[in-house]
Structures are given as structure tokens and as C-alpha cells.
Structure 1
Amino acid sequence: MPVFKINIKWQKERYKDVECNTDESPEKFKAVLFSLTGVPPSRQKVMMPGKILGDENYDGIKLKDGATVMLMGTADEIPPTEQAYVSTEEPATTNECTLRLPFGLVNLGNTCYMNAAIQLLYSIPEVRTALKIFSPPQSAMGLNSPESLVINMRLLFNSMDKAEQPVIPAVFVTCLRNVCPQFATRLSNEGEKGNDGSLLSMLGARFAQQDANECWVELMHALQRVQINPCTVTSLPEIFENTRSLGSWNLVERYFTGHLLCKLTCTETEEEATETRETFTQLSCFINQDVKFLHTGIRNGFEGTVTKHSASLGRNAVYKKTSVLTRLPAYLSIHFVRFFYKEDKHLNAKILKDVKFPLELDLFSFCSEALQKDLIPIREKMRQQADYEVHSFSKEQKTATSTKDSKCPNPAKNPELFEPYSLPDDVGSNNSGFYELMGVLSHQGRTSSSGHYVAWVKVEENWIKFDDDTVTCVTPEDILRLSGGGDWHCAYVLLYGPKRVLKSIPPIEPASSTVQMEVGQSVKDVHGGDRTD
């Protein structure tokens, strides 16, 4: 049976040209009605030509384009978001949140994996802006095309921009399951329930929990279809103004793709080493008994051995593989490889090991010599800025003049005060090797197909926890506690963005000799240790 465009009548409302794909389960169409009207499927009575729509199929229903379908049922009242949070598992901490909290995404029955991934993507300014100016091709109109997922992501982001209550992502999750059928799998037991704390069940909680990193990867694959042609945009947003002369470009390739130079050396012969170039949109942190810090896990992925055929030996041989970064993307996601398949239990079990990660990440040591040379100018300027901030903080402490206004300006609000974060000839790259943590996707539970996923996002100077539609402020200390080691939330995906540096850094005022004499300190004591400036 084909796809029909029909009209929906519900109470005093009318919805025109709503697509109904009769090759799919009626539950998916009911999910669309839910997103339009707020009437949950369990309370929907859909009067179609021929009979009332059931849950299994469209047998006996005679649809045609332009047909009018009557929906009966009352809408659910959206539960209010929490504005205050006191953890029962941790001591209360003082945390002044200066933001009006945004609204979250309603859990539609084991959809926390998707909600968390969406919140991380939404936190990236370039993604939000690119989706607004993206012009999809005509071929994107199909329900199952990756472009349709991008279009629905744009609609979802628009709803999040204007939200005055928690957003119901019913249309997007339906599209996601159409484009990526692996997310449409159901619980093996009809009576089995998910344990992700959903407040709303769109389809009776019969859809299974999914892997949030797999969802993140699929969303990135869809965004690879976002091609920006500045010539077709009459008013290019300021964030992309410096790309107007570069012609058409791809969002993921520009802002999320890094480059590696990989070297293979045979350990059993003297044959010449071979070099290959690879790209990535995500780094992996491999966890074993020796990995206690993020850097070590990343290093494990850059150094190792592989077995492959040796032409000189005429058989398989062991090769040492080493990789260095030749391009750093502006935005870097890192996947903690925490799950492994247990054959005896037929499930993806979780590695709970505590692996520390920093709020500020430096990848300089992982870069090639040529790239390191390009990174040095901005790194030197960042050192100067750090010295100035330390000096200013010390001065404020002595004079008791510390105020909020003395803090470094916000790059999002004052972009003109900051250096670009990209190399001059490579828009979308990172020009320093320094990253700041801007988001964490965490998992609580013992397997990837169970438990609960949450997003933790830095908005301006505040950290916000998005537990579906429960949105609360947290502290940087709360973020660092996501390193694992128990049944509390464990970081599963980290999202780092470029660290920014001011264009103009005030000179450090020389210390007053009078003050030094009064307090009886030498220049060495004032600056600390043996350092000389």
C-alpha cells in the first residue's frame, strides 16, 4: 500500500496533508498524531474510511489522497520541569546558576539515548546555524532518506529554540527509526518494561533501549549530507561569514573531521615502513587495567600492533602501527569503549573502571611535528593569557577587588574580542591543540541495551544536566565525578570544543618594590619558585 496525504480533524483543529505510510505499523502514524495533538496513542480513536484504525495493520481501510480522518481523544498535560535539584546520593553543594534553565526533551519510552545525543548536538553553535541555512535537495523528501532525518532535526531544533515547555520529539524519533531500522527493535518480552525512567510512553514501552553512542554516530552520518553553499544564502550568518569565498562545504568534514598519518613498520623484517592517511570523526578511549586517565586510553589507540600479509616474507607478519594527528577538528567527540560482548550471557557488559578525564584537554603531544609548529603561535598567546589571569587573580585577592565583571569575556557573547579558533588556511580546524569540555553523555546501568542515558552540557559558564525533561544546574565537580568506578553515571561520550584566547591581552604590571619591602618578600617569592618572567 502506498503513502497517502490525508487531513486530520481533531476537536476544532484541522491538520492538512499529513503523511500516512500504510506499509508501516499504524503505531508510527499514531506517533505522528501524538506529536501534532498531544493525544497519547493509548487514548487515540482514529476513525478512518472503512473502520477504526487498530495497532497491527491497515486491513479493511480504504484511504486515498485528501481523505479526512477523525481523531478522538484528549491530550495529555505536559509535566512541569524541575527547577531545583538536591541529589540523594551526593552531599549538597552550593551552585549559583545564572541562566534561565532551558526545557528538555520528553522521554517517549526508552528514548533517553536519543534525547542525550540530541542535547549534545544542539549545544554546538555551528550545527544549529548550519541547519537553519541548509537547503535540502528535492531527493530529500523521502521518508527514509538521511536528508529527511536532517530536516526533522532542524524542525526539532526549532522547537527547542522556541520551547516554553518540554519538547515532545515524536516526529523525530519516528523518522530516526525509519532511517535507522536498528533503533526500531522491540523488547523481546511484550510485558517487559524499560528501566530508563521514562515519564511518557508513546508506544507502550515496547521499543528497546539503544546504544547512545551508536545514535550519535548515525546522527553524524546524517549531518554529512549537510552541504552549505554560501552563494545561495542571501544573508550568511556571522558565524560563517569567513566561509563565503570558499565555495560549497560540508558541515561534518569541516568542523568534526580529524586527519591521521599512520605508519606501519614490520617487526620481523627490514622492509621499508609504509604510511597511510586516515580520517576520523570520533576518537576512542580504549580501557584496560592500565588505563586510569583519558590520555592513556587515547594513546593506546594511537600505538599498537596489527597482523597483515608481508610481501617480502610471503606470509602474515606482525606490524607496529603508530599514528599522529595531522589535523585537529574544532569539535572532538571521544568514545569511552566501556562495553564488551559476553558470549555466555549474550549481552554487552559494561566496564565500570574509573577513568579520569579533564575539563581542559591538550592534544599537542599527539600531533605531527608539522602540525605542532602551526599550533605554537596561539599556544604562546594562551600562555600569556594564563599568566595574566593568574597575576590578575593574585592582585584581586590582595586588594579584595574580585568581581564577576573581572572575569574573562564570554566568546559566545563577545566573539569580536577573541582570536579565531581555526588555522588561517583551514576553517573549522583547531589552531592550538587545546580543547574545553562542553558536553558529556553518561550511562547508568550494567549493559548498553539497558539503564539510562543523560546529557550534561556547558551553557556559557554553567553546567546543566538534561535528564530527559528534568533540567537542573550542576557543578564542574559533578562533571568530574562521571569518571566511573561504580553504579553512578559514567561518562560514555565526551564532547570537546575549541579553547578561545583574547585578541588583546593586557601587559602584566611589574610588582611594586614598595609593596615587596612592606611584606618582606623577594621577587622570587612573589612569582613563586624559581620562575623568572
Structure 2
Amino acid sequence: MAITVSVKWGKKKFDDVKVDPAGSSDAFRATLEGLTGVPAAKQKLLCKKGWPGILKAGAPLSATSLSEGAVVTLVGTASKLAAASEKVVFVEDLPRSALASAGAALPPGLANGHNNICYMNATLQCIRAVPELCQAAREAAAGDLPPGAAAGVASALGHLFEEMAHKTEHDDVFPAGFLAAVRAAHPVFAEVAPNGIPRQQDSDEFQNALLGDLATALVKAPAAGPAPLAPPLRGSGRSANVVDSLLGLELDTTMTCDEAPDAEPPVRRTDTQLKLVCNIQGGGGSSTKVNFLSEGLRLAMEGSTEKRSEVLGRDALWTRKSRISRLPPYLCVQFMRFYWQAHTDAAPGAPAGSKFKIKRSVAFPANGLDMFDFCAPDLQKALTAARDKHAREEESRRAARDAAGASADGPAAKRAKEAELPSSSSSSSAAAAAAAAAAAASSADADDESALEAAVSASAEGSSSGTSSSSSSSPAAPEEGVALPSPYAMPAEFEGIYELFAVVSHAGPDAESGHYTGWVRQGKPGSGSDDWVNFDDETVSSCKTEHVLGLKGSGSDTGDIAYVVFYRAVK
């Protein structure tokens, strides 16, 4: 029965390559020759978990440990161009529905239609950038959902996302069905002003309502996504669902009485939520100045409050400290920019107060958001285990690179003939194995990345063959009982590092006025792409990371300021 493996060749990677583990390696080499153009006789194949050293020509694969999902490194130079496996289709011949997915056109915007729904449009563009959530909604819309308002919202969202999947920036998409479902489920979003125009709403309040509905309705993992779903959030009262699996956080909170720390026992609880809050303090008279996202997160997770002390028999000052015990694959953060202020001279029938805006500039990173310091000790242990393992692997790469450089003298042909990788019983050192692999790679005239990959693989083989080495890449398992991040849709061996991929911004003096826009990063997750798309209702335009980072705020009522930011786990 055939299995699928991934093949790395220089800077290219071929996924889902079929191979018969009971067949001959020659058949596998023939397949690779068709993919890459590297002649079978000149291929050098390495697989750290499949076989020691370089796979010998004609060796039966049944004698190896090649398994499903293994990564095979190919070293060699193509002597001919690989035959095209698919018919070449030119961009101008693509149907409009395929242009966006091919990157030849920008994705579609969402029309406002004088409904004051920019808050909804901006949020939906960001939610659509979470592929697992988008796919789950589309699949739910095509299947059977139980009756209820939440299911109606989820179904309407799935139909909307399905329509948008076949449109581009040149098409007008008006979310009429979804808007009707939301207003039926949440009448607050159907309110109109005295002039008859629909009221502007807070995008964060809309997001909370939407995610609550989706958490109720989307209880099955999408067919194309990872499975099973993450366990239910502790104390949430909800069963396992897609929303909690993707965005759910658990925080361990401890409250200590400052006035009776020895007599009053600490109060501990677990909080569950779908976002973190970045508190903002600044301006005249404030002792705390928040200039960066990390400072605002810490301010929200640590603080003081008044609470009754049973020991003292009165209200006392307590210190609160929260730490994350479960990290999600997608992290949402809301900047606390709006605050409520009552109107002391409000006329009868007029609003009792308004939400005013804090315009202070707060910077946030596009890459490398490190959540380690905000995690509970048990979760930090799990993240540390992954970080230590990756540090050892990096040390192994460095040693291999040094070994490859040291063996660079001498004719390439001679190095190729003399190179011989050790077997699993060899007592050669890891550095010697790395040098031999580097020499073999050089003889194949492969590019630097292929040679380095070979050296790293050989170094790992050598260090596991009876010779102790401080640069061993064997994983360090977390201690028993150590908490792990949510396993659903998480990168393997997650270190707690996130990258920015979507932003909802707001321009205007308060939450009930102004304008919301969405910003979504393009490119593969973890690639560090500098390309973004700005969604201003139906107007769609390209922009760069520098424009998005400029949303940190400048104190202006007219400029866009980040209100809700979305990060995804990458490392």
C-alpha cells in the first residue's frame, strides 16, 4: 500500500509524493527523476528517520523505516528539465473565479449599501482570513444545521464566504442574507438613528456576537482541516467547537489580599475567553504610559482591585495576576480604546452617555510576538522544551556548516569518490559525518541549501550512532503533567511565537461614529510576507507592512487606528 512523503530538493519541496514502502528504491528514484530532472544514478537520498546515511541504489525500501509523512532530502543536479505535470494555463485565460486564488487579482470587498455596516465588513474580512473557520462555515452551510438563530447566522456566513470564494475585487458582494440573519438573531444591530439611518455599531461587540453564534453552531472540524477539535475550554459550559479550538484562551488567575496576605487565603480561578485585552493608559495625570502592545497586555493581566476580605470583615485591596494556561493557534487582541462617559445634562430620550476614544499611540509587532512571559509556569515548561530542542538543532546546523566549510578543499570528484557516510553502528563523530555528507553533496554540484541539508541530516545520524554530542537534535519531552498549547491547528513543537495577519482599524472620535476598515496579510503563514490588502468596504487596495504598523495611532480623529488585531501561531 502506497504512502505519501515530502521531498526536499534545494529550495523546492514536493509534498504528497507517492511511494511503495514494499518496493524498490529504484522505482522511487524514477519518480523523483520525473519530478526534478535529477538522473536516478546521480541522486543521493537522505532521510533522518528512514535510513542511516545515503540510501544505496537498488536497496529495497522494505528494509528501511520509511513511513507516512517522512521527509526525504534529495541532493543532485538536474540534467534535464522536468516534464510539466499539469497543463500550462495563462492568467488571461483563467476564469474570474480563479483569479483571486491564483494571486492574479485581489479578493473581493463587501458593499456597504448605505447600511452603516463598515464595522461588520471589516470584521468579516479578518475572520475570513482564518482558513479553518472559513471552511467550517462553508461546510456547515452546505450540510444540516440544527434550527436556531445561531445556526442561521452560521449558515448565512458560510453562504457568504462561498460566494466570496468565486469573486474578485472587480465584483460587488453585498452581504444581504448574512445581514438579515444577524439582525434577526441580534436586534441591536438593526437599530436606526432618529434620521432613519442604521446606527453605527462597535466592531468588537459585533465580533463577540458572531463568534458566540459560531461557537454554538460549528461543532464539527472541517473535513480538510486538522481533527479532532481541541477539548472544551474549562468552565466555559460549551462543548468542543471550532471557534474555541481556534481562538480559545484559558487564564489562571490568582488574587491575593494585600492587607492580610498571611491570614487571607488566595482566591484562584480559571477564566476562559476568545481574546486578550490591551489596556491603554496615558495622557495628563496618568502614572502609567503604555507605548507597546506587550505593556498593555501586562497591564490588563496584572492589577489591583477592591474586594471583600472575610478575614478583615470589610473591603480590602487585592492584587490580581493572570497567566495563560492554554494558548490558541489564533490570538485576538482588542485595544481598549473606547470608554463610557455619562452625559450629565442629557435631554429626555437622548442617550445617557457615549463611548469616547483613547487615541494614544500604541505600537504592535508584525512578526515575532512572543507570548512566553504571559504564560503560566506549566505552559512555559512545554514552550521551553520546544525552544531547547530548536536551539540544539540550530547548533547542529552551525556545526554542520563549519564542517562543510572545513572540507571544501580538494577536487569535487575526489570528494565524491572518497565520501562514505557511517552506518548506524559506526563510532565516527557527528562532525566527521557532517563533513562526509557535505563532500558528497558538493560532488553532486547541488546548491548550498541542499548541501547544508545533507550535512545536517548526517550530523544527526552520526550523533545518534553511539557518540554523545551536545548538538543532538533529539526532542526533549515535557515533564509529566505539563500543560500544552491547544493541539488543534498548532505548529509542531510550538515555541509561543505569533505573527500579525489581520487588523480591524477605526477612524473617528468614538465607537458610534467614524469608519472601520479591515487589513489582511497575503502570502503563506510564517513567510514574513510584506504584502497586505486593505478592505474599505467595497474598495480593495494593496499595501505594505509599514502602512499596517502605522495604525498604532497618532492622536488624530481622522486617522485609522488599530482596534482589534489578529495573530497566528508560526513558531
Structure 1 length-normalised TM: 0.62
Task: Please report how far the alpha carbon of residue 282 of structure 1 lies from its aligned counterpart in structure 2 after TM superposition.
Answer: 0.8
Structure 2 CA distance for partners of 1:458 and 1:99, relative to 1, 3 Å: farther
CA distance in 2, matches of 1:184, 1:390: 61
Hey, what does 1:347 align to over in structure 2?
A: 354
Structure 2 CA distance for partners of 1:111 and 1:425, relative to 1, 3 Å: closer
Hey, what does 1:20 align to over in structure 2?
A: none
Task: Please report how far the alpha carbon of residue 276 of structure 1 lies from its aligned counterpart in structure 2 after TM superposition.
Answer: 1.0
Hey, what does 2:9 align to over in structure 1?
A: none
Residues 1:131 and 2:115 aligned together: no
Contact 1:262 1:323 in 2 (8 A): yes
Contact 2:230 2:486 in 1 (8 A): no
Hey, what does 1:469 align to over in structure 2?
A: 538
Hey, what does 1:368 align to over in structure 2?
A: 376
Structure 2 CA distance for partners of 1:241 and 1:317, relative to 1, 3 Å: closer
Task: Please report how far the alpha carbon of residue 239 of structure 1 lies from its aligned counterpart in structure 2 after TM superposition.
Answer: 2.0
Which of 159, 166, 173 in structure 2 is aligned with 1:167?
A: 173
Contact 2:253 2:321 in 1 (8 A): yes
* CA-to-aligned-CA distance 1:34-53 (integer Å, 9 cap, x gap): xxxxxxxxxxxxxxxxxxxx
Which of 383, 386, 389 in structure 2 is aligned with 1:378?
A: 386
Contact 1:226 1:251 in 2 (8 A): no
CA distance in 1, matches of 2:389, 2:521: 24
Hey, what does 2:553 align to over in structure 1?
A: 484
Hey, what does 1:450 align to over in structure 2?
A: 513
Which of 95, 102, 108 in structure 1 is aligned with 2:113?
A: 108
Q: Secondary structure at the match of 2:164?
A: helix
Residues 1:357 and 2:364 aligned together: yes
Structure 2 CA distance for partners of 1:390 and 1:361, relative to 1, 3 Å: farther
Hey, what does 2:250 align to over in structure 1?
A: 259
Hey, what does 2:161 align to over in structure 1?
A: 157
* CA-to-aligned-CA distance 1:239-272 (integer Å, 9 cap, x gap): 22565999x8311221111111111111111222
Hey, what does 2:326 align to over in structure 1?
A: 327
Hey, what does 1:499 align to over in structure 2?
A: 570
CA distance in 2, matches of 1:311, 1:478: 53
CA distance in 2, matches of 1:358, 1:177: 35
Q: Secondary structure at the match of 1:108?
A: coil
Structure 2 CA distance for partners of 1:493 and 1:304, relative to 1, 3 Å: same
Instruction: Note the 1:53-202 alignment, pairs <5 A.
Output: 99-109=104-114, 110-134=116-140, 135-140=143-148, 145-164=149-168, 165-190=171-196
Amino acid at match of 2:354: L
Task: Please report how far the alpha carbon of residue 354 of structure 1 lies from its aligned counterpart in structure 2 after TM superposition.
Answer: 0.3
Which of 278, 288, 307 in structure 1 is aligned with 2:281?
A: 288
* CA-to-aligned-CA distance 1:208-233 (integer Å, 9 cap, x gap): 11111111111111111134346xxx
Task: Please report how far the alpha carbon of residue 371 of structure 1 lies from its aligned counterpart in structure 2 after TM superposition.
Answer: 0.4
Question: What is the number of equivalent residue pairs in this alignment?
Answer: 362
* CA-to-aligned-CA distance 1:287-325 (integer Å, 9 cap, x gap): 001111101111011111122221112222111111111
Task: Please report how far the alpha carbon of residue 426 of structure 1 lies from its aligned counterpart in structure 2 after TM superposition.
Answer: 3.2
Structure 2 CA distance for partners of 1:425 and 1:166, relative to 1, 3 Å: closer
Hey, what does 1:508 align to over in structure 2?
A: none
CA distance in 2, matches of 1:127, 1:337: 25
Between stretches 379-388 and 467-476, larger displacement belongs to 379-388
Hey, what does 1:68 align to over in structure 2?
A: none
CA distance in 2, matches of 1:265, 1:355: 30
Hey, what does 1:303 align to over in structure 2?
A: 302
CA distance in 2, matches of 1:463, 1:154: 24
Q: Secondary structure at the match of 1:480?
A: helix
Task: Please report how far the alpha carbon of residue 355 of structure 1 lies from its aligned counterpart in structure 2 after TM superposition.
Answer: 0.3
Contact 1:264 1:322 in 2 (8 A): yes
Task: Please report how far the alpha carbon of residue 423 of structure 1 lies from its aligned counterpart in structure 2 after TM superposition.
Answer: 5.0
Amino acid at match of 2:274: T
* CA-to-aligned-CA distance 1:331-387 (integer Å, 9 cap, x gap): 111000111123248321111110000113111001111101111233346667889
Amino acid at match of 1:125: P
**Percent same amino acid at aligned positions?**
32
Between stretches 302-311 and 111-120, larger displacement belongs to 302-311
* CA-to-aligned-CA distance 1:453-495 (integer Å, 9 cap, x gap): 0000012132111111111110110011000023310000000
CA distance in 2, matches of 1:188, 1:387: 67
RMSD (Å) for aligned C-alpha atoms: 3.6
Contact 1:338 1:352 in 2 (8 A): yes
Amino acid at match of 1:336: F
CA distance in 1, matches of 2:198, 2:184: 13
Task: Please report how far the alpha carbon of residue 285 of structure 1 lies from its aligned counterpart in structure 2 after TM superposition.
Answer: 0.6
CA distance in 2, matches of 1:390, 1:218: 50
Task: Please report how far the alpha carbon of residue 441 of structure 1 lies from its aligned counterpart in structure 2 after TM superposition.
Answer: 0.3
Contact 2:255 2:321 in 1 (8 A): yes
Q: Secondary structure at the match of 2:256?
A: strand
Contact 1:263 1:273 in 2 (8 A): yes
Hey, what does 1:76 align to over in structure 2?
A: none
CA distance in 2, matches of 1:423, 1:373: 9
Hey, what does 2:503 align to over in structure 1?
A: 440
Instruction: Note the 1:394-413 alignment, pairs <5 A.
Output: none
Structure 2 length-normalised TM: 0.58
Structure 2 CA distance for partners of 1:162 and 1:479, relative to 1, 3 Å: same
Q: Secondary structure at the match of 2:226?
A: helix
Structure 2 CA distance for partners of 1:163 and 1:304, relative to 1, 3 Å: same
Contact 1:227 1:249 in 2 (8 A): no
Contact 1:131 1:226 in 2 (8 A): no
Contact 1:105 1:469 in 2 (8 A): yes
Which of 179, 203, 213 in structure 2 is aligned with 1:212?
A: 203
